[in-house]
Chains A and B, each alone.
Chain A
Amino acid sequence: MVINIIDDIEKSIRETAKKLLEEKKVDLIIGYTKGSIPLRSGPCFITDASQTGMLVWNQSCDLNLAKYLAKNDDRKIGIISKGCVGRAIVHLIVEKQLNKENITIIGISCEGVLNRAKIMVEIGDKEIIEANIEDNKIIIKGKDFNKTLPLQDYINQLCITCHYKIPPISDIIIGNKKPEKPPKDDFKDLNEIESKSSNDKMEYFKKELNRCIRCYACREACPMCYCSLCFIDQNKPVWFGKTADISDNFIFHMIRAFHVAGRCVSCGACSSVCPMGIDLNFITRKLEKIVKERFDFESGINLEAPPPMGTHKFDDKQEFMIEED
């Protein structure tokens, strides 16, 4: 019974947050709160122990809260961290963007979040009035329809393959069920795309990215996108086009992906926040695969391991290089 466990976690989150605030161990708790429409959640920033009732935890908590931590923030912050939030924090520490001393990681075991875009496509972009998750089912009520969907089919792909349900480092861990370790990641979910011809791949991604309106929600939601001025906004020199033309969109998403290679913590926030429902998870998965298979690296796991783009090995694979015939 998924729902019970999640309820318990929510309760413990509130109690833990309250205690931390009351004991003045933290100045601020960053957590999730209910969104104003169903299947949505938002961040909340709690400084007063009496407000901890706002905190929630459910399968719509798709943001990566590490986004709200800042390098020069001197406050003592307690942050509700599912696995990928914890990973983001670790990697940000590796990249010298955070001071661990000020952060209390409240680790929670996460069963995965929903792929809302997929649900919206399933119900034809109709308005959801009410949504509940019970017995591994998502029960959706609209004005003139009811729909029950199997929960498992609408969990984000990244969560299904996720190996880090709880943060790699935590100060407190909440969760009454030891998360099952998923089977070894074989990246089978990529097989379909990878086996396509170049042309078909390009068609697929162009079709997806054609919808992009360049609102940069993907970038802004990404904990690893912390540049003060994104390459796309730089004008000395102007690197790439800012229009929503497919060629510019394609390049933007390609380079953004390259930029987070070896840094991406596979939280899927970029996809979850996309107002146009563009599925960027395939790209995220591919990045995971590249750095795992090439450099045996997973980001945000180890505070000591140098990021793959910040080091090299003499015997890195070079099978991609051309040779004379």
Chain B
Amino acid sequence: MMQKMISKEKISDLIKELQKEFKVFGPVKEEGVVLFKEITDAKEICLDYSNSKIPAKSVLFPMIDTLFSYKKEGKGVKIIENPPYEKTVIFGIRPCDSMVFSLFKNFFSFGKYKDPLVLNRLKNITIIGMGCLEPRTTCFCTSVNGGPFNKESVDVLITEFKDNYYLESITDKGEALIKKIKSLTDADKGDLAKIEKLQKDIESAIPVIEGLDGIYTKLDGLFDHPMWKMESQGCIGCGSCTYLCPTCHCFDVLDENKQDGSGRRIRIWDTCQFPLFTLETSGHNPRTTKLPRVRQRIFHKFNYYPKNYNIIGCVGCGRCIINCPVSSDIRNIFISVENISSKTEG
């Protein structure tokens, strides 16, 4: 573990240094909305933010992702592979959002099929996370095995303290990176203890949601429970909860053709909340109403994920609560689940 620091003013020097070797993605404010984008100008970076509107999964799993391109040649078709993925740093990501990277690693390499695109990107990405000094009231990361300064899924963790950023390397990859950066100085040892306390204070201030403990087994018996009718009746069936969820990763594959005979195969975000998602070629649709779709979202994250990968498919960022057009709150579902299961136990 290596601990370094840099004054806030010099942060753009650090970015510039990183840019020499890496493509750097970081939070950028556009039209009042914070997004993760490639930093072209070091001044663009916006570190005074609670969390980005669209999670940083968009770096690893873009909204439009070209799988390959093609061009008609004579009677055949020539496949054109994507250019090699450049070495990338994701800078300033919140520890909750970075949890997604290990989750994606599991998902995109599950079973026989490995997704070369995502796995290759993962290999080439270094994550510089940024501790969360001001968790929102909608955050519940500590209830899903995370925390505002969670180190599990970052290579480097930055904590803001007074006028400085403190950088702590977590992985070897992170340490190697820090070592190279000249604009960093050694950390002020006196502050480190204070930082640790600050981190603990912030973490313990986040309320713990009781129902989440062991939700996976609790859900097992609730597939046909009437609670889903209640929970789904207000849902309008849009995709905002899933598109803005750091862990959702469903996609649709389609071809885009140009008139000149060239084209590309892309994947775009898709969501289980749309009726078309499950429409089969035969015309049959196993999820025709809102109810099974709302239930699917919860089961996928809190039952299937734990079963398949031993991970909860939720990082507690609260985006779905903030952005739901009908103000449906996932925490209420946890409470319902808890109430029902404690009743049946009792």
Contact = CB atoms under 8 A, between A and B. Distances in A.
Interface of A: 35-37, 40-45, 63, 67-68, 120-121, 124-127, 129, 143-144, 207-208, 211, 213-217, 219-221, 229, 233, 241-245, 272-273, 275-277
B50 A127 contact: yes
Given A37-B137, A127-B136, A217-B240, A121 B32 contact: yes
B105 interface: no
A275 B325 contact: yes
B273 to A, nearest CB: 9
Interface residues of B, number: 44
Contacts of B237: 220
B238 A37 contact: no
Q: Which 6 A-B pairs have the closest CB atoms?
A: A35-B327, A273-B325, A42-B327, A217-B238, A215-B239, A36-B329
A242 B254 contact: yes
A221 B54 CA distance: 21
A207 B32 CA distance: 12
B332 A244 contact: no
B326 interface: yes
Q: Chain A CB within 10 Å — which of B50, B240, B269 has the most?
A: B240
A272 B53 CA distance: 16
B269 A216 contact: no
Interface string B324-343: 11111101100000000000
B86 interface: no
B269 A233 contact: no
Contacts of B54: 213
Given A41-B327, A42-B327, A43-B234, A243 B50 contact: no
Q: Chain A CB within 10 Å — which of B137, B138, B236, B322 has the most?
A: B236
A178 to B, nearest CB: 31
Contacts of A125: 32-34, 49-50, 53
Interface string B83-110: 0000000000000000000000000000
B201 interface: no
Interface string B35-77: 0000000000000011001100000000110000000000000
A63 B325 contact: yes
Q: Chain B CB within 10 Å — which of A121, A219, A276, A277 has the most?
A: A276
A233 B271 CA distance: 13
Given A67-B236, A213-B269, A244-B268, A275 B321 contact: no
Contacts of B324: 42
Contacts of B208: none
A221 B321 contact: no
A44 B329 CA distance: 13
A313 to B, nearest CB: 36
A42 B328 contact: yes
Contacts of A40: 327
B26 to A, nearest CB: 16
Given A127-B137, A211-B33, A242 B268 contact: yes
A245 B264 CA distance: 14
A63 B325 CA distance: 8
Interface string B269-286: 101001010000000000
